[in-house]
Structure 1
Amino acid sequence: MSFHRRDLLLGGLGLPFIARAASAQASWPTRTVHVTVPYSPGGGTDVFARLLAEGLRNAVGQSLVIENRVGGNGVIGSQQVSRAEGDGYSLLVVTNTHTMNKYAMQSVPFDPVTDFTPISLLSSFPMVIAASANAPFKDVAGLIAHAKAHPGEVSFGSSEASTSYGGNEFARLAGIKMEEVAYRGGAPLMNDIVAGNLPLGWTSILSAGPYFKNDRVRILAVTSASRSPLQPQIPTVVEAGLPGYDFAGWYGMLGPVGMKPETAEAIHAANLKAAALPQYRDRFIELGADLRMLGPKDFAAHLRQEDGRWAEASKTGLIKPLQ
């Protein structure tokens, strides 16, 4: 994922941008803002969005209400926002699954790129490969060796299209066969790993965060190209023995289609301001978030790039149809 330094809020670099956006749309917000998270409470997206909303309340002086509308791999909540007024008071926080769904599902009632207004690419984040402590492998090399010795007998959990892709791409590169088990969110997936009911799973680093010190869970690796500042002792998949594997997720904020550009810019400026507040920036960093945000235009370009990537992945069978 590529970020541009002009979007970084470091020192005074973001201040002229914030001033322009605030001047262009000084009236936003004048009332409560509703932010939909189309995934389960307690998962990584929910944790991130609630912290962002807390920062935004301080940054803009208005209430932000988080609403979890779970179902359809994120489609139900996203569809609700796609039909709302584009006035800046109905917002959506999604992951890269948002752009993958049309290739993983039989039908999606909207286009993930053209039926929304891009506001902010909020953060990138690595996935982690989490294993139960009673799994018959202790590291990535052991997992690959065990899966090769027992083809099709290793199950891995996924919670949406993004984690499904992460697991299937790992299996492709490793030359192994694993059986996928679909969950409705990162929290129930991790609960089954802790209980020993699931040997292995792909999930976001935020969903796995509460389990880093749990002796019933082993974090085998992070999926990104570099180690996470949150848990620098955890190796990347490449370092752990699988060359060529590099996959990071992201959180993004969208609005309904038809939102005025100045409104989107004002909301992006507020996101930058909220993330820069010291009491929240430190907490974001503790969650492993990468806060090099992209604004509306660059986020729009990123969404189009993602759409092309997943179209190609679908053709090659790396995105499995959801059941």
Structure 2
Amino acid sequence: MLSTRRCMMLAALGLPALARRASAQAWPTRTVHVTVPYSPGGGTDVFARLLGEGLRTTVGQNLVIENRVGGNGVIGSQQISRAEPDGYALAVVTNTHTMNKYAMQSVPFDGIADFTPISLLSSFPMVIAASANAPFKDVRELIAYAKANPGKVSFGSSEASTSYGGNEFARLAGVTFEEIAYRGGAPLMNDIVAGNLPLGWTSILSASSYLKNDRVRILAVTSAERSALAPAIPTVPEAGLAGYQYAGWYGMLGPAGMKPEVAEMIHAANLKAITVPQVRSRFIDLGADLQMLGPRDFHGYLQQEDRRWADAAKAGLIKPLQ
């Protein structure tokens, strides 16, 4: 039999592990802050706030969504990279997060090593949106007009992801666009509606409220298949440009060093959040696929994305941001 002293020593050695497990099991015990490093009203913001609604219902704690805009998403993401890795400071980002180091001269963090992957939340198509007064009504007319008027078609982008979408389209179509950078999908769409911008690439969530607006033409979706949100809108190959396929994604990250059990608990909470009936129906209405990946699989996905953008940058398909 073990002596009393031996039992006490083993118990003492086990206390830190028990404390860690108790801490993980207690998450969350206070307000959770989720940073969206992009503008209010954009696709990532819409997605994060709807997810937050589901999380508030399932975790029983307050959850605050904070927009921290600037630097193509870098400022808000940097804030999270420097936070305590305790599960109370999180970020919802888009694929721009992994593209920035190839589109910017300097990024003050490593998009993979300085974060803990929690959930790949959803993929989504981009849309090609045009002003109603633009001199083209569909993709074929856009390509024809751009070829007849080289360099005279401007397109708007809001970050590296939408910039790549427009520039890859131009490469495949053999045309030249002038790119205009915006500080978010919402101001980009506002200028298209106002007729100040003829063309833009943005997420389908940013464009969702304009799908039935007669001042906007949605020329195509960029995904391989049509979106359930707007099944009448053709894909880019269907509309006239073969070989073009591109989708974005939303993901949740925490600071590096987060305990694996905490990351898994947050992912489990995300899975529960999208089962809340009123939340799930709105996600479906927005065309989100909701095929989530957990921390380990999301980490592998981020590494795959990094290799993809490294190759794209070498090929000159990612334009440096000013």
TM-score range, shorter chain: over 0.9
Partner Cα distance (2:213, 2:95) in 1: 28
Closer, same or farther in 2 for the Cα pair 1:132/1:182, shift >3 Å? Answer: same
Count the aligned residue pairs: 302
Partner of 2:74: 75
Instruction: Indicate whether 1:157 and 2:156 are aligned.
Output: yes
1:279 corresponding residue in structure 2: 278
| Equivalent residues of 1:24, 1:266 under 8 A apart | no
- CA pair 281-24 structure 1, distance change in 2 beyond 3 A: farther
Distance across 2 between alignment mates of 1:69 and 1:133: 32
| Map of 2:116 onto structure 1 | 117
1:180 aligns with 2:182: no
Partners of 1:26 and 1:245 lie apart in 2 by 46
Shift of 1:284: 0.5
In 2, the alpha carbon distance for the partners of 1:265 and 1:82 equals 19
CA separation of 1:170 and 1:23: change in aligned 2, threshold 3 A: farther
**CA RMSD for the aligned pairs?**
1.1
CA contact (8 A) 1:221 1:240 kept: yes
Moved over 2 A (4+): 22-26
**Structure 2, unaligned stretches of length 5 or more?**
1-20
Structure 1 equivalent of residue 217 of structure 2: 218
CA distance in 2, matches of 1:242, 1:159: 23
Per the alignment, do residues 232 and 24 of structure 1 end up closer, same or farther by CA in structure 2, a change over 3 Å counting?
A: farther
Provide the residue aligned with 2:308 in structure 1: 309
Partner of 2:193: helix, strand, or coil? helix
Match of 2:25 in 1: 26
Alignment of 1:187-226 (within 5 A): 187-226=186-225
CA contact (8 A) 1:158 1:181 kept: yes
5 Å matches for 1:1-323? 25-323=24-322
Q: Deviations over 1:94-138 (max 9, x none)?
A: 000000000000000000011000000000000000000000000
For residues 24 and 245 of structure 2, the distance between their equivalents in structure 1, rounded to whole angstroms, comes to: 39
Paired residue type of 1:51: L
Amino acid aligned to 2:295:
P
SS in structure 2 of the partner of residue 91 of structure 1: strand
The separation in 2 between residues aligned to 1:26 and 1:60, in whole angstroms, is 12
Partner Cα distance (2:278, 2:73) in 1? 30
Q: Unpaired segments of 5 or more residues in structure 1?
A: 1-21
Instruction: State how far apart, in whole Å, the 1-side matches of 2:50 and 2:278 are.
Output: 11
Partner Cα distance (2:314, 2:180) in 1: 22
Partners of 2:113 and 2:271 in 1: CA distance: 24
Is the Cα–Cα contact under 8 Å of residues 124 and 250 in structure 1 kept in the other structure?
A: yes
Structure 2 match to 1:13: none
Provide the rounded CA distance (Å) in 1 between the counterparts of 2:49 and 2:278: 14
Shift of 1:313: 0.5
Using the TM superposition, give the Cα deviation of residue 277 of structure 1 relative to its aligned residue in structure 2, in angstroms: 1.5
Residue 25 of structure 1: CA displacement? 3.4
In structure 1, what is the Cα distance between the partners aligned to 2:214 and 2:276? 34
Distance in 1, Cα, partners of 2:91 & 2:79: 9
The match for 2:13 is none
Note the C-alpha offset of 1:23. 9.6
Deviations, residues 192-211 of structure 1 (Å, cap 9, x unaligned): 00000000000000000111
CA–CA separation in structure 1 for the residues paired with 2:82 and 2:22: 28
| Partner SS for 1:219 | strand
Superposed CA offset, 1:29-69 (max 9, x none): 00000000000001010010000001000010001000100
Distance 2:23 2:68 in 1: 32
**Percent identity (aligned):** 81
Question: Greater shift after overlay, 22-31 or 157-166?
Answer: 22-31
CA distance in 2, matches of 1:240, 1:86: 46
Q: Which residue in 1 is equivalent to 2:8?
A: none
Which residue does the alignment assign to 1:16? none
